[in-house]
Amino acid sequence: MKRFSTYLLFLVGIALLMSCNSITEVSPKGQKLESNYYQTPDEAFSALVAAYNPIAWQTGSTDGTYIPILGPLNSAADECFAGGGSATDVIQWHAWNDYDMSGAVGPQAGYWDRSYTGINRVNLLLKKIDGVKGLSDSMKKRYIAEAKFLRGYYYFWLVRLFKNVPLYTKPLDTGEIYQQKQASPDSVYAQIEKDFGDAIPDLPSAPLPANEQGRATKGAAQVFLAKTLMWEVGSGSNQSKMQQAADLLEQVNTSPAYHLLQNYPDIFSPDNKYNAESIFEIGHTSAQQTGWENWGNFRGNVYVQMVGPRNYTGPDYVSGWGFNPITTAYADSLKGDPRYKFTVANIDSIVKATPGGDYEKGYHNTGYFIKKFAPLTKYMGANGDPALNFPNDYIEVRLADSYLLEAEALVRSGGSSTKAAKYLNDVRDRVGLSPVAATLPNIYHERYMELGTEGHRWFDLVRTGRAVDVLGRFGFKEGVNEVLPIPLESLNNTQLKQNDGYN
């Protein structure tokens, strides 16, 4: 049976018809589609899949560039540089790398469009689902739960990245589009909490059958709700919310559906998708066998191609485009840690030891490249353009992340120090490291080592109030760069206001 992620390939037409790439494009492009669609269970399912679709976007949006989740986030943190061929190669990433963003320049359009496209599709599905004939009550409850999960998910991304965003939970009429104003962050957080909370009872528990993998589960909603609560607290003190987060995470961390894999690199292998450590996974596939003519609708993981060394000649790896080279400081901090060799590809050492080995030293080159998403020769697509058809998934939430979040929440809520130490040291023990005390510095350091290049670092630094201390040397400005600018295109002719510091 086909995986849910593969099923996305057959819904490109629907996704395009329903597409809306900004807050100012909230109605389906075909009004006939809205009035005549959502009549059958199959159409309802297609609409649900279309609501999932933006999660896996790799290219496109209103700025028409490369928009994988990880590229800009890794560029913004202290683990990687933007890299590429030059300082203008995907300038959107370099703007965040250098903290030189404006409403017109930066990665914001990709994140904004991804989330609001998903929200628009969710709202339309929730409006129409009562009119679907032949949909069983149990399936209807699940679809509603998945839609609310997705709306919570998309708004969680928006409020973390932009803070001041419009909030709407129904499709907007044309006359309402340009009158939308930004909601208070508190009201956005309240809606996210409500959506995840409403979704939890009617979502299935993991593991899912093969044909449903990639869809939301009870555990995924519980972790995202816990993360939402921890973001609301930020670097402040709210023992009640931290305890609530710890309780949610405990339900996931003690679930028999999940366990830490014994072999750390197995987590990231395309041969081991949706493994027991995966809580929410964004699927990619080589089955599309696409070429460049399908820009904006790639189902392969293009980021994998982007992070490979440029014009590489040597073993194991396909030549890539040189983005997100790992900083020397982060590579050095990992040396001596068993996770180093599974996080860092030391291309300088490889080509030095390989007769005829070589690569082009791109912009920001350090010789260190991302290993977790490296373009390995054995996973190169056999058909279509190989650069566009890597099958590597991105596990956005995995169990080690959940363990370390609970350890933090327990320490900050005054909860069980014994349990906090257990979760922290279970993560360390998996890779053969000795136990350490459950202190916040130790927990934060473990997240840095365990989750490197997986898109968590920038969020962790901002959430815990450490960003200016760590990222100030790269240009991070306190009171400004905790959020991205609102995309200029979404400001034009609207009631939206630019975030402070970006005018």
Biggest CA-to-CA distance, the chain: 66
Instruction: Indicate whether 324 pLDDT > 50.
Output: yes
**Is the pLDDT confidence value at 8 over 80?**
no
Read off φ and ψ for residue 254, nearest 5 degrees: -105, 5
pLDDT digits (tens, 9 = 90+) for 134-190: 999 999 999 999 999 999 999 999 999 999 999 999 999 877 888 899 999 999 999
The per-residue pLDDT for 36 is: 75
**Closest CA relative to residue 71, chosen from 60, 82, 86:** 82
Q: CA Rg, the chain, in Å?
A: 22
The per-residue pLDDT for range 294-305, each reduced to its tens digit, is 999 999 999 999
- The span from the CA of 64 to the CA of 16, in Å, is 15
In the structure, what pLDDT confidence band is assigned to residue 68 with cuts at 50, 70 and 90? very high
Average pLDDT, the chain: 93
What is the DSSP secondary-structure string of 138-178? Answer: HHHHHHHHHHHHHHHHHHHHHHHHHSS-B--SSPPPHHHHT
Environment class of residue 205 by beta-carbon count within 10 Å: exposed (0-12), middle (13-18) or buried (19+)?
exposed
Sequence-ordered strand ranges (E) for 148-277? none
The tens digit of pLDDT for each residue in 268-316 reads: 999 999 999 999 999 999 999 999 999 999 999 999 999 999 999 999 9
Task: Give per-residue pLDDT as tens, 86-126.
Answer: 999 999 999 999 999 999 999 999 999 999 999 999 999 99
Alpha helices per DSSP H over 366-439: 399-413, 417-430
The DSSP secondary structure of 81-119, one letter per residue, reads: --BSSSTTTTHHHHHHHTT---SSSSSHHHHHHHHHHHH
- Where are the alpha helices (H) located in 39-107, listed in sequence order? 41-52, 70-76, 91-97
CB atoms within 10 A of CB 291: 14
Q: How many Cβ atoms from other residues are within 10 Å of residue 209's Cβ?
A: 10
Are 449 and 432 in contact by the 8 Å Cβ rule? The answer is no
Which amino acid type is present at position 346? Answer: N
